[in-house]
Amino acid sequence: MAQPDESPQPHPQPHPQPRPLRRDAERNRQRILEAAAEVFTTRGLEASLDDVARQAGVGVGTVYRRFPDKEALIEALFEERIGAMVQVAEEALAEPDAWTGLVTLLERAATHMAGDRGLRQTTMYATYGQDKVQRARDRMQPVVTAMIDRAQREGVLRDDIQPTDVPFIELMLSAAAEYAAHVRPGIWRRYLALIIDGLRPSRDGITPLPEPALVPEEMMEVMRRVPRDRR
């Protein structure tokens, strides 16, 4: 019996293995990704693909030949970055000291978010790439919960903090970062320090948190809403 099928495509696959691009096409694809990174990071997802094309030095047609639509390009770009956020959380959990781990998590997550308007939009609002973002959140949540539990068990974090407080803190810091981006992009560190001091466990003069945290289902509901633009 001769091997019946040694051709490069034994079975029709779900992703039919795209044949390699011609060299110029591949070069342009890279340029487009770099340009999109630049544009979406600094100006947010509401930037147009015409902007991306201009930044890349190619025609719009070339962008659309490579990425069927805007969403595909955005997913290609941010998948990796969202993964990086999850990794940050996992590394923070590996930190032996609970308090240090938590602070590291908040600080490093904010570092990613503060400089990247597109990432803020993809993670905080379910506008593009819902599936992948959702999967990332599903991996994130237990890690954050574990971090908080551990810190509270060790008595270094106030008792009334909940996992859903973390995205809110990141949101607030992002808002500050975005607001001052063109004057003092690092200002969020100031407010992170303030918040961190507020996270310390109870002592004299502490204000009990007057409003319960969102439960995870509420958090889902919040994120489902679109902000004001796109889709």
Nearer to DNA, 24 or 80 (CB): 24
The minimum distance between CB 72 and DNA, in angstroms, equals: 8
The minimum distance between CB 71 and DNA, in angstroms, equals: 7
CA separation, residue 194 to residues 53, 103, 173, 221 (Å) = 41, 12, 11, 28
- For the chain, the straight-line distance linking the first and the last C-alpha, in angstroms and rounded, comes to 56
**Residues that bind DNA in the complex, under the rule CB under 7 A:** 21-25, 27-28, 48-51, 57-62, 64-66, 69-70
Decide which of DNA, a second copy, none touches 13; Cβ closer than 5 to 8 Å per partner kind: none
Decide which of a second copy, DNA, none touches 159; Cβ closer than 5 to 8 Å per partner kind: none
The single-letter code of the amino acid at 51 is D
Nearer to a second copy, 58 or 105 (CB): 105
- 8 A C-beta contact, residue 30 and residue 104: no
The minimum distance between CB 100 and DNA, in angstroms, equals: 42
The helix-helix angle for 130-153 and 70-94 (nearest 10°) equals 20
The minimum distance between CB 82 and DNA, in angstroms, equals: 20
- Residue 13 contacts by C-beta under 8 Å, 6 or more apart in sequence? none
